[in-house]
């Protein structure tokens, strides 16, 4: 599923709240946590991780993965934690505003 622009960063930060994880793991985590509804493309994810690190919201370190491969582990910084709160709150406001206009979702068609 294509993501709406702007949600990826938030989803990544939220996923890292549970602890450090490498890129591949983040993507798998989001995918399974959403019941396969959200499929993160690596071509979107890695630029996003770079972005988030440049902004100081996550920090990275090379380590060995649980499958004995080298992998870059990312973890939330204190600033990232605050950013996550801001983004979550903003997202909730946005969804609420859009829902006010859209009304109840249409019936699922056979």
CA distance 102 to 13: 28
Nearest to a second copy of 41, 93 (CB atom): 93
Of 20-28, 76-84, 87-95, 100-108, the window that binds DNA (rule: CB under 7 A) is 20-28
Taking CB under 8 A as the rule, does residue 79 contact a second copy? no
Using alpha carbons only, give the angle 87, 56, 58 rounded to the nearest 5 degrees.
75
Residue 33 burial (C-beta neighbours within 10 Å; 0-12, 13-18, 19+): middle
Size of the site for DNA (CB under 7 A): 33
Q: How far is CA 99 from CA 6, 8, 10, in A?
A: 18, 20, 20
Tell me the per-residue interface mask from 57 to 76 with DNA, x by CB under 7 A, - otherwise: --------xxxxxxxxx---
Give the H/E segment covering residue 103. Answer: none
Q: Should residue 100 be labelled a site residue for a second copy when binding is judged by CB under 8 A?
A: yes
Residues of this chain that interact with DNA (CB under 7 A) are 1-3, 5-9, 22-25, 40-51, 65-73
Contacting residues toward a second copy, per CB under 8 A: 1-2, 4-7, 10-11, 14-15, 30, 33-35, 37-38, 85, 88-89, 91-103, 105-106, 108-109
């Amino acid at each position: 599923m294509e993501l709406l622009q702007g949600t990826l960063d938030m989803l990544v930060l939220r996923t890292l709240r549970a602890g450090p994880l490498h890129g591949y793991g983040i993507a798998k985590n989001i995918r399974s946590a959403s019941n396969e509804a959200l499929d993160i493309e690596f071509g979107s994810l890695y630029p996003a991780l770079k972005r988030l690190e440049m902004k100081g919201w996550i920090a990275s370190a090379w380590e060995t993965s649980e499958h004995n491969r080298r992998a870059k582990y990312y973890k939330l910084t204190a600033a990232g934690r605050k950013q996550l709160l801001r983004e979550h709150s903003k997202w909730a406001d946005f969804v609420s505003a859009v829902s006010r206009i859209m009304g109840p979702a249409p019936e699922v068609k056979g």
